[in-house]
Structure 1
Amino acid sequence: MIKQLFTLLLGSFLSVAVCAQTQLSKETQSYVTHPRGLYVLQNATIVDGTGVAAQTDQDIIINGEIIEAIGENLKVPEGATILDMTGKSIMPGMVMLHEHLFYPKATPGGTFGVSQMSYSFPKLYLAGGVTTMRTAGSIMPQADINLKNFILEGKVPGPKIDATSPFLDRDGLGILETYSLKSTKQAIEAVKFYADMGSTSFKVYNYITRADLKAITETAHSRGFKVTGHLCSITHREAADLGIDNLEHGFMASSDFIDNKTPDECEPFKQHKSLLDLPVDSPKMEALIEHLVKKNVAVTSTINVFEPYTGREVVPGGGLKALYQDARDKVYRRWASKQNRDSLDYVLFNKSKVWEKAFHDAGGLLVAGTDPTYDGRIVAGYANMRLLEIFVEMGFSIPEAIKICTMNGATYLEQADSIGSIAPTKIADLLILNGDISKDIKAIRNIETTFRNGIGYSSEKLFRAADGKVGVR
């Protein structure tokens, strides 16, 4: 009897907990066009995230937060709402692995600084089709973790978040909001501290030592978490041998090709020159790629960060209106000053395209992110849409480009059984696009609805809510 009573009470408690998790605030509800329910999306073109060719005239049944069935001319369940997808296409919600919740700013003394964007960026990411994201380095980890929970609780709209630790680095970075570790022991304690706080992945940076990286990866792995890195002092090959899980920025942060490189020392000018001097078809790069694939190290493309200026959008993806006026003016001035003066940017951009595709084609796990930092030109949401377009420029097919931005990210996060592709029993994280993305990748800029966990949000309303806010909040 006592056992039965306990089971009944536990069931009631879980039922209340589930209801609490799905109760949306008025703020969140204001962006919802399709509350969680029973839907049949009819006559859609689907690019499912697995890399295969698009399927046409498909129906999708969404029941609650789960995809229940996919196929042609499915029987409409009693009580279902029918949504006509004629002329529209559907792809999975994007799973992006190098995102941030901050934006660059001017700081005292000429240092580089950033400001937390807890209001605008979650909306922009969701509007731009991102349903799951990793914050690959934070400046306010407590804010990122709180925001992750607020989104899950329905208090604010946004993607699901894999919250990364602050940047783990030694002295030399020069970002006002970051802390410099003083010892390997301190690095170990930092991993434990932020894991206890709620961080679920870890990021090492430019000036870290090999001893630090070894200790950080061992400590993080012992807690079941992965480590990624934007490196300089440590080569990609060394990092792979020390157990790192992921390398950021394609091969643009690789210091492997510096002649007589000083161990554990970041030499940015030599690193930059070594990549400019390296032939695009270098056997040395081929050997590095082969080593990373063998070691199962994922590589994150942030190719949009390196997009040149001449003849291209001021804000890639079209998000200039999202910036507050001072930021807009600053970004525009830099863009204008770089017109026809960015030939070296083009050289490295084009090399990076080739190297990243070579890694993918060699069997490496290429994942994606936008890294909205640098000079303020890269804006959450807008940059994510633009990234897909660049992948097609790189020579990927449209299904391949979509897979990199969806299923590959889910695979890295070990969540491919529930997100990353469109399939029965998976979570209903879907993008409804006006137009046929299987024929024109630019349809990614026409997101009508972002379904996240079975709830449909208006992309237009989310974008509009952030207009003029980026750089402020």
Structure 2
Amino acid sequence: MIALLASLAGWAGASAQPVADLSDRARQHIRHDAPQIALVGVRLVDGSDDPARANQTVLIEDGRIRQVGPTADISVPDGFAVLDLAGHSVIPGLVGLHNHLHYPGTPASHHTAPHLYLAGGVTTLFSAGSAAPVAELNMARAVERGYGPGPDMRIAAPYVTGPDGNWVMAQPDTAEAAHRFVDYWTENGVAGFKLYRHVTPDVARAVITRAHAHGLPVTGHLCSLTYRQAAEMGIDRIEHGFLSMSDLVADKPEGVCTATLASLETSDPDGEAIGAVIATLVDHDVTLTSTLAIIESHFAHRPQGDARSLAMLAPEARAAYDSRQDALAARLETTRFTPELFGRVLAFERRFVAAGGHLVAGPDTGRHIIPGHGDQRNVELLVEAGFTVEQAVRIATHNGAVELGLGTDRGLIRAGYRADLVVLQGDLSADISRIRHPQIVFRNGLGYDPESLAEAAVGQVGLR
């Protein structure tokens, strides 16, 4: 696993940005801007596996966490703005590893994505494939300079696929072309690369080797390559888990993307074949990205878009959602996306982690899975999969930070860590759905108003 994203490493240690340096577009969404803030009386789920702790106080100073501990043991110094947050939970800011900055049909969601990710509690992300790389790189830089609100955004290069793949993606046809592609986008500041379903083995190997020479990671949404092949090539991360795995396809042609569903329907979640795939991934230090929110959208028997997410969709996106729901309903009795198959999806992620695998999370935005809301749904589904609340929060926060080479800077509520925090209404440890109710999102010590951020995007997802 290549954890350090060299091209953007300087951002990790950035100090808190003075509010006066922010544009009006960013400043209008800030609720708490004091340089010293005390969060008093909260329940902490701190990004580790430690049990949630009640009645804690967190001191924030100049964008960093100064002190954490029982409220009874901490004397709030003079000059701190005190927020009495009894009845609230605090978690680290979410760190998303499959967080696109585009929506199908919209090459760059330059307005809605930054607003909604931050509103949903996402404070750091990796875009996991770019549809408009120049726009996305500029978007990330603009947020860092204070021109608008948003998370710390690490941008991927354009997707790399093969001759039978999506025509809007890069299709280098030789190892030399792949090297030139990697060199060019590295020079332009990307934070990693993504292989897509039809990529050829030679090009995949060339991208991985060249990216690693630059100190950058490679992930993949795979099909032409099996998970075991990609692991042996040195891939750092694989997206989507169980449903994208072609390892179980009998007599699979080398380097060809073929249908996988039949092989997965009959698989044994506890069997030797899946165990061997997982063992290879763990032995080669390959991370998996859990994208349960978008995977759930394939299953008609599962919850689909809720009112708050649907309100964010532009009219054309809402019409597409309605059409898709009609199609799902029509296939309900004959669909191969059954409750049993969804159970296999969840079991694969449990088994991977139990075997020592490193699991991170991201929503893979599209359909009704919108920025921020999809990240929250992932956490809920991880708990449904059998992880504890604390484990699910760690997967969605500190594990992601570790994957980005930021594990000593953010993703935990510890003294010295960056003050990227989410204040949630209620007791998250007792009710995971409280993840949907952020009251304040602190990014680098500045407290943003989630409601204000979300209101700025109502009816616009899929438009801009």
TM-score when scaled to structure 2?
0.92
The whole-number CA distance in structure 2 between the counterparts of 1:384 and 1:18 is: 25
Deviations 1:429-463 (A, max 9, x none): 00001111011101111100110000111111111
Contact 1:21-1:153 at 8 Å conserved across structures: no
* Counterpart residue type for residue 330 of structure 1: A
Q: Distance in 2 between matches of 1:342 and 1:227?
A: 37
SS at match of 1:213: helix
What are the Cα deviations for residues 7-48 of structure 1, in whole angstroms up to 9, with x where unaligned?
xxxxxxxxxx98689711001001000115101111110000
* 2:95 aligned partner: 95
Alignment-mate amino acid for residue 370 of structure 1:
P
Structure 1 CA distance, aligned partners of 2:55 and 2:23?
36
The alpha carbon displacement at 1:178 in A equals: 2.0
- What is the match of residue 135 of structure 2? 143
Equivalence for 1:158: 150
Partner of 1:472 in structure 2?
463
* SS of residue in 2 equivalent to 1:451: strand
**Residue 278 of structure 2: aligned partner:** 289
- Does residue 352 of the first structure (1) align with residue 345 of the second (2)? yes
2:183 to 185, 192, 197: 192
Counterpart Cα distance in 1 of 2:333 and 2:136:
38
Which whole-Å CA distance do the structure 1 matches of 2:155 and 2:314 have between them? 26
Structure 2 residue 248 is matched with structure 1 residue 257: yes
Q: 1:83 corresponds to which residue?
A: 83
- The residue aligned with 2:320 is 330
- Secondary structure, counterpart of 2:143 in structure 1: helix
Q: Which residue pairs with 1:279 in the alignment?
A: 268
Stretch moving more, 94-103 or 208-217: 208-217
8 Å CA contact 1:246, 1:298 repeated in 2: yes
Distance 2:135 2:111 in 1: 11
Contact 2:123–2:150 (Cα < 8 Å) also in 1? yes
What root-mean-square deviation, in Å, do the aligned CA atoms of Structure 1 and Structure 2 show?
A: 1.7
- Identify unmatched segments of 5+ residues in structure 2: 1-14
C-alpha spacing 1:19/1:205, structure 2 compared with 1 (3 Å): closer
User: 2-side partners of 1:211 and 1:90: how far apart?
Assistant: 46
2:46 to 28, 45, 48: 48
Q: Identity across aligned pairs (percent)?
A: 35
Which structure would you say has the larger Rg? 1
> One-letter code of the match for 1:447?
P
| Greater Cα offset, 296-305 or 275-284 | 275-284
Q: 1:19 to 1:384 in 2, by over 3 A?
A: closer
- Tell me the distance in 2 between the aligned counterparts of 1:61 and 1:278: 50
Looking at structure 1, the residues matched to 301 and 116 of structure 2 have their Cα atoms a distance apart, in angstroms, of 25
Checking the alignment, whether the CA contact within 8 Å between 2:159 and 2:194 is kept in structure 1 is yes
Indicate yes or no: 2:365 matched with 1:372: yes
- Which of 222, 227, 232 is the equivalent residue of 2:213? 222
Change (3 A) 1:29 1:257: same
Q: Secondary structure at the match of 2:323?
A: helix
Query: Which residue of 352, 355, 359 maps to 1:362?
Result: 355
Query: How far is 1:78 from its partner?
Result: 1.6
The answer to whether the 8 A contact 2:26-2:148 is kept is yes
Kindly provide the amino acid, as one letter, of the partner of residue 343 in structure 2.
N
Q: Relative to structure 1, is the Cα distance of residues 152 and 36 closer, same or farther in structure 2, using a 3 angstrom cutoff?
A: farther
What is the one-letter code of the residue matched to 1:82?
A: V
Check the 8 A contact 1:22/1:153 in 2, yes or no.
Answer: no
Deviation at 1:161, TM superposition (A): 1.0
Shift of 1:317: 8.2
Q: For residue 332 of structure 1, what is the amino acid of its counterpart?
A: D
* Structure 2 residue matching 1:99: 3-state secondary structure: coil
Cα deviation, 1:379-413, whole Å, max 9, x if unaligned, reads 11111111111111111110011000001101111
Q: Which one has a larger percent strand, Structure 1 or Structure 2?
A: 1
Instruction: Indicate conservation of the 8 Å contact 2:34/2:81, yes or no.
Output: no
- Range that drifts further, 286-295 or 165-174: 165-174
Distance 1:18 1:249, change over 3 A: closer
**Counterpart residue identity of residue 408, structure 1:** N
SS of the equivalent of 1:300 reads: strand
- 8 Å contact from structure 1 (residues 36, 65) kept in 2: no
**Structure 1: 5+ residue runs without aligned partners?**
1-16, 106-113
The AA in structure 2 aligned to 1:140 is A
1:272: Cα distance to partner? 2.1
Aligned length in residues:
444
Amino acid at match of 1:329: A
